[in-house]
């Protein structure tokens, strides 16, 4: 067999209905790069319209790409593609997880794992290089993710990378995750594995990722990125406090390292310190995420930072909190961002101090993180808490629950700000106890079930973005129409961080506007924060580029929470990044000549295939009115203020329609409907999609 560079060269296909395990050549997916691209192609080709996510006919694709496991910084992301249970029409969506799993897939020899069919009883999938078997999981069924992982490791060996579902996934809770490495979770697809009766996948990979170029050049590129380009988490490139080496600082920056700030529970404590860029051996100290996510009280409990294979930016805080054992969970906690804040959102009356001053939310966040992660419950990017708040405070809950069930819920704990409430909350959802547990169905489904009306859908407090039942995720508050457009384009909350990284990088807006002009042709692409201007074509280019790079990263796979390198912490570079870095890595690793343009084109192909698949699954051309729709609160917030006046992030209805038109034009989609045209599909080599959509009368 010819040597494959970058790509492992094989895709593993496992049919759980008949036990067939086969491999196929990755080559046929190369135009789609990998990861997300492979996922969409498989779903487009192989999963019939109208399939329920939990049917045997649905497939789930664990995808990696040519850069996964290559040692390029931040390159161990698993892209998971399947039908999405929370989506009203069960359209395709992705979930993602970091950790070690993706890199292990590559070293075992696989670019993707396609799981199809449905096992008769609980199974787990054992992968040791080219030896693959379906194993009995009856002992694991019913266990949480932590025990399941330990059980698989005890069978395979300590070195196995293991992805598993918890009881929530088993019980077909829509809001459930697939997780590896204790806290790296792909949200929203756990129940797909549950329906397939696939409890876990364990991988040991002893093989190599081969690079076409010289290792020396790859190492030089790593060094260039780490010394000159990379910042802190989200590629924030200035520190959060004034420091002698830094020209700028920004309070919100995730570059929280500073004099006197420690990993306080390390032995001995490790000082993060004032650390100028240029030194590889301090990059991992820049982000003290414990205090960022959990407040100052977290410092003394922070053992270290953590994160994914190959990533020098450690964005997961790892804490030892002995007090947590009083709630019956482990004292050791690992998580980041929403993994902490979502459970705190459930504590809608706040949390009172538990063991020391100002530790209330700290305990709720860390306790909730433990509970949700072991059960494998997802939060729909924070919706779960906001929905609970709505039904509780509006009285809806009392209406839809029997008196007996309502009285069985310990609301007195909630009212008293006692985080023990979380134990009851997550248990009910995980085990589908009673009517209450339908909170785990997701936004759209509870609105249907409980007849929630306009004030639920359109109320600002719920932060629902779309009638498809997903929330704001760096939307209008992040770059005005840019974030708003991005949030309209997927079938779940947008996972694109490109625009957010730039906007929050910490550099002064003037510099960011210069950078914007260099990338998108005019500084008008970039609005000053909360000083928005009406739509213009450069914002459409900014939005398109952000999505295209996000899609590219999920196909390569590298982390869009860090990439692309638009800016740099280095003053001597005038803070300029290098947006061609993905293509430099790709050329070196694969030996094929990639340019920024050729990769962007490939990603445009992948994203347009997603759009074509969305049209196919919705059975309508009218994306503008059926899909790319925003809830009223986005237009009606701050009633006393006009859109485009300083201090408000509200959008304007007609302007947003203009924004959609401009975006469709940038994409080569039909201006009226927002559906991809035949010409565009053919231009991108998606002729097969054009033919299929034509046969369904779904071409504009």
Partner 1 sequence: MEEKSKKKFLERETTRREFLKLTGKGFGGAVISMSILSMLGCESQQTVAYALPSGLLLADASRCTGCQRCEISCTSIHDEKIQPFISRIKVSENYNFGNEGPRLDYYRQNGQFGNLSMSPETCKQCREPYCGRACPAGAIFADPKQGNARVVDTSKCVGCGACEEACPWHLPTIDPETKKSTKCEACGFCAENCPTGALRMIPWEDVKKAMRRNGYRFS
Q: Give the residue with the Cβ less far from partner 1, 273 or 434.
A: 273
CA distance 195 to 376: 15
Q: Give the residue with the Cβ less far from partner 1, 306 or 368.
A: 306
Cβ of residue 321: shortest distance to partner 1, in angstroms?
11
Q: Which stretch binds partner 1 (CB under 8 A): 297-305, 419-427, 512-520, 632-640?
A: 297-305
Cis check: omega of the bond before 268, within 30 degrees of 0: yes
> Which of 47, 137, 160, 198 touches partner 1 (CB under 8 A)?
160
DSSP bridge partners of 128: 131, 204
Q: Which stretch binds partner 1 (CB under 8 A): 16-24, 25-33, 302-310, 565-573?
A: 302-310
Is residue 208 a contact residue for partner 1 (CB under 8 A)? yes
CA distance 484 to 589: 35
Q: Give the residue with the Cβ less far from partner 1, 155 or 247.
A: 155
Q: What is the distance, to the nearest Å, from the Cα of residue 219 to the centroid of all Cα atoms in its chain?
A: 28
**Through-space distance between the first and last CA atoms of the chain, rounded to whole angstroms:** 44
List binders of partner 1 among 45-104 (CB under 8 A).
Answer: 69-71, 100, 103
8 Å CB contact between 312 and 293: no
Cβ of residue 538: shortest distance to partner 1, in angstroms?
36
Is residue 129 a contact residue for partner 1 (CB under 8 A)? yes
Is residue 306 a contact residue for partner 1 (CB under 8 A)? yes
Q: Give the residue with the Cβ less far from partner 1, 216 or 251.
A: 216
CA distance 516 to 519: 5
Is residue 149 a contact residue for partner 1 (CB under 8 A)? yes
Query: Residue 611: is it exposed, middle or buried by C-beta count within 10 angstroms (0-12/13-18/19+)?
Result: buried
CB under 8 Å to 697, separation ≥6 — which residues?
none
Is residue 530 a contact residue for partner 1 (CB under 8 A)? no
> Which of 300, 304, 678, 683 touches partner 1 (CB under 8 A)?
304
Cβ of residue 310: shortest distance to partner 1, in angstroms?
6
Q: Give the residue with the Cβ less far from partner 1, 217 or 679.
A: 217
Q: Give the residue with the Cβ less far from partner 1, 272 or 478.
A: 272
Q: In the stretch 252-291, what mask flags binding to partner 1 with x, by CB under 8 A? A: --------------xxx-x---------xxxxxx------
> Which of 13, 77, 199, 314 touches partner 1 (CB under 8 A)?
314
Is residue 320 a contact residue for partner 1 (CB under 8 A)? yes
Specify the residue for token string 């947590």: 324
List binders of partner 1 among 172-191 (CB under 8 A).
Answer: 181-182
Q: Give the residue with the Cβ less far from partner 1, 269 or 521.
A: 269
Specify the residue for token string 């900014």: 542
> Which of 215, 352, 530, 641 touches partner 1 (CB under 8 A)?
215
> Which of 45, 159, 247, 694 touches partner 1 (CB under 8 A)?
159
Consecutive H or E run containing 601: helix 596-618
Both tokens of 123, joined, read 């199974």
Q: How open is the CA angle 488-492-495, to the nearest 5 degrees?
A: 80
Is residue 657 a contact residue for partner 1 (CB under 8 A)? no
Is residue 158 a contact residue for partner 1 (CB under 8 A)? yes
Report the relative pairing of strands 131-136 and 123-128 from DSSP bridges.
Answer: antiparallel
Is residue 330 a contact residue for partner 1 (CB under 8 A)? yes
CA distance 367 to 424: 12
Is residue 585 a contact residue for partner 1 (CB under 8 A)? no
Is residue 153 a contact residue for partner 1 (CB under 8 A)? yes
CA distance 443 to 420: 25
8 Å CB contact between 110 and 11: yes
State whether residue 266 is helix, strand or coil: coil
Cβ of residue 432: shortest distance to partner 1, in angstroms?
26
Q: What is the size of the binding site for partner 1 (CB under 8 A)?
A: 64
Q: Give the residue with the Cβ less far from partner 1, 42 or 211.
A: 211
Q: Give the residue with the Cβ less far from partner 1, 132 or 338.
A: 132
Q: Give the residue with the Cβ less far from partner 1, 282 or 536.
A: 282
Both tokens of 45, joined, read 């080709």
Give the number of other Cβ atoms within 10 Å of residue 356's Cβ: 12
C-alpha distance from residue 96 to each of 188, 237, 647 (Å) = 10, 25, 34
CB under 8 Å to 179, separation ≥6 — which residues?
97, 145, 163, 164, 165, 166, 185, 186, 373, 376
Is residue 328 a contact residue for partner 1 (CB under 8 A)? no
CA distance 315 to 310: 13
Q: Which stretch binds partner 1 (CB under 8 A): 148-156, 353-361, 401-409, 654-662?
A: 148-156
Q: Which stretch binds partner 1 (CB under 8 A): 45-53, 81-89, 124-132, 455-463?
A: 124-132
3-state secondary structure 180-202: ECCCEEEECCHHHHHHHCEEEEE
Q: Give the residue with the Cβ less far from partner 1, 268 or 639.
A: 268
Is residue 322 a contact residue for partner 1 (CB under 8 A)? no
Q: Which stretch binds partner 1 (CB under 8 A): 21-29, 32-40, 127-135, 546-554?
A: 127-135
Q: What is the distance, to the nearest Å, from the Cα of residue 553 to the centroid of all Cα atoms in its chain?
A: 12
Ramachandran region, residue 58 (left: φ > 0; alpha: ψ -120 to 50; beta: rest): beta
Is residue 214 a contact residue for partner 1 (CB under 8 A)? yes
Give the number of other Cβ atoms within 10 Å of residue 673's Cβ: 21
Q: Which stretch binds partner 1 (CB under 8 A): 41-49, 310-318, 401-409, 533-541?
A: 310-318
Cβ of residue 209: shortest distance to partner 1, in angstroms?
4
Report the relative pairing of strands 177-180 and 161-164 from DSSP bridges.
Answer: antiparallel
Is residue 308 a contact residue for partner 1 (CB under 8 A)? yes
CA distance 569 to 576: 8
Q: What is the distance, to the nearest Å, from the Cα of residue 512 to the centroid of all Cα atoms in its chain?
A: 25
CA distance 165 to 175: 12
> Which of 192, 305, 480, 659 touches partner 1 (CB under 8 A)?
305
Is residue 482 a contact residue for partner 1 (CB under 8 A)? no
Is residue 595 a contact residue for partner 1 (CB under 8 A)? no
Is residue 360 a contact residue for partner 1 (CB under 8 A)? no
Cβ of residue 254: shortest distance to partner 1, in angstroms?
15
Cβ of residue 672: shortest distance to partner 1, in angstroms?
48
CA distance 261 to 471: 34
Is residue 21 a contact residue for partner 1 (CB under 8 A)? no
State whether residue 476 is helix, strand or coil: coil
Is residue 239 a contact residue for partner 1 (CB under 8 A)? no
Is residue 144 a contact residue for partner 1 (CB under 8 A)? no
Residues in the site for partner 1, rule: CB under 8 A?
A: 69-71, 100, 103, 107, 128-129, 131, 146, 149-151, 153-154, 157-162, 181-182, 205-211, 214-216, 218-219, 222, 226, 266-268, 270, 280-285, 303-312, 314, 318-320, 330, 332, 334
């Amino acid at each position: 067999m010819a040597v494959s560079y970058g790509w492992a060269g094989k895709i593993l296909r496992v049919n759980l209905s008949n036990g067939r395990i086969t491999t196929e050549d990755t080559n046929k997916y190369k135009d789609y790069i990998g990861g997300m691209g492979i996922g969409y192609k498989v779903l487009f080709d192989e999963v019939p319209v109208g399939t329920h996510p939990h049917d045997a006919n649905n497939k789930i694709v664990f995808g990696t790409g040519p850069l996964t496991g290559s040692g390029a910084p931040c390159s161990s992301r698993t892209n998971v593609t399947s039908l999405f249970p929370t989506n009203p029409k069960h359209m395709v969506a992705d979930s993602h997880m970091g950790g070690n799993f993706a890199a292990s897939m590559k070293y075992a020899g696989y670019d993707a794992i396609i799981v199809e069919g449905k096992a008769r009883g609980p199974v787990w999938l054992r992968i040791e290089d080219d030896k693959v078997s379906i194993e009995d999981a009856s002992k694991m069924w019913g266990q949480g993710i932590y025990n399941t992982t330990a059980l698989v490791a005890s069978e395979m060996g300590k070195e196995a990378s293991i992805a598993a579902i918890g009881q929530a996934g088993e019980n077909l809770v829509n809001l459930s995750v697939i997780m590896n490495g204790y806290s790296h979770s792909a949200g929203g697809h756990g129940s797909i594995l549950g329906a397939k009766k696939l409890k876990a996948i364990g991988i040991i990979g002893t093989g190599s990722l081969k690079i076409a170029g010289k290792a020396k050049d790859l190492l030089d590129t790593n060094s260039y990125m780490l010394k000159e380009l990379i910042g802190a988490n989200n590629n924030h490139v200035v520190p959060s406090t004034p420091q002698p080496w830094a020209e700028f600082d920004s309070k919100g920056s995730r570059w929280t390292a500073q004099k006197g700030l420690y990993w306080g529970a390390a032995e001995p404590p490790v000082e993060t310190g004032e650390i100028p860029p240029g030194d590889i051996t301090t990059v991992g100290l820049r982000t003290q995420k414990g205090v960022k996510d959990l407040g100052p009280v977290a410092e003394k409990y922070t053992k270290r930072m953590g994160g994914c294979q190959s990533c020098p930016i450690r964005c997961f805080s790892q804490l030892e909190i002995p007090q947590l054992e009083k709630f019956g969970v482990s004292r050791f906690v690992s998580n980041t961002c929403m993994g902490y804040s979502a459970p705190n959102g459930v504590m809608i009356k706040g949390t009172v101090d538990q063991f020391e001053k100002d530790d209330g939310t700290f305990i709720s966040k860390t306790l909730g993180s433990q509970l949700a992660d072991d059960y494998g419950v997802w939060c729909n990017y924070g919706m779960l808490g906001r929905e609970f708040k709505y039904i509780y405070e509006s009285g809806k809950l009392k209406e839809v629950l029997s008196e007996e069930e309502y009285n069985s819920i310990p609301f007195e704990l909630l009212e008293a700000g006692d985080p023990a409430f979380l134990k009851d909350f997550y248990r009910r959802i995980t085990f589908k106890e009673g009517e209450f547990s339908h909170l785990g169905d997701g936004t759209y489904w509870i609105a249907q079930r409980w007849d929630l009306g306009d004030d639920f859908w359109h109320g600002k407090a719920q932060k629902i973005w779309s009638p498809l039942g997903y929330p704001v995720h760096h939307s209008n508050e992040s770059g005005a129409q840019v974030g708003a457009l991005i949030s309209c384009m997927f079938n779940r909350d947008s996972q694109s961080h490109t625009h957010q990284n730039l906007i929050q990088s910490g550099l002064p807006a003037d510099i960011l506007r210069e950078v914007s002009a260099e990338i998108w042709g005019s500084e008008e692409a970039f609005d000053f924060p909360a000083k928005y201007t009406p739509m213009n074509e450069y914002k459409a280019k900014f939005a398109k580029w952000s999505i295209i790079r996000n899609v590219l990263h999920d196909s390569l796979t590298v982390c869009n929470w860090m990439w692309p390198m638009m800016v740099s912490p280095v003053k001597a570079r005038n803070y300029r990044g290098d947006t061609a870095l993905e293509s430099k890595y790709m050329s070196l690793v694969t030996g094929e000549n990639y340019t920024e343009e050729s990769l962007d084109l490939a990603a445009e192909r992948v994203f347009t295939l997603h759009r074509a698949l969305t049209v196919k699954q919705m059975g309508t051309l009218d994306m503008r009115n059926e899909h790319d729709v925003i809830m009223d609160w986005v237009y009606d917030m701050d009633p006393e203020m006009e859109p485009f006046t300083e201090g408000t992030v509200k959008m304007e209805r007609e302007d947003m329609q203009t924004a959609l038109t401009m975006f469709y034009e940038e994409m080569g989609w039909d201006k009226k409907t927002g559906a991809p045209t035949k010409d565009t599909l053919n231009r991108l080599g998606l002729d097969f999609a054009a033919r299929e959509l034509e046969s369904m009368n779904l071409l504009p």
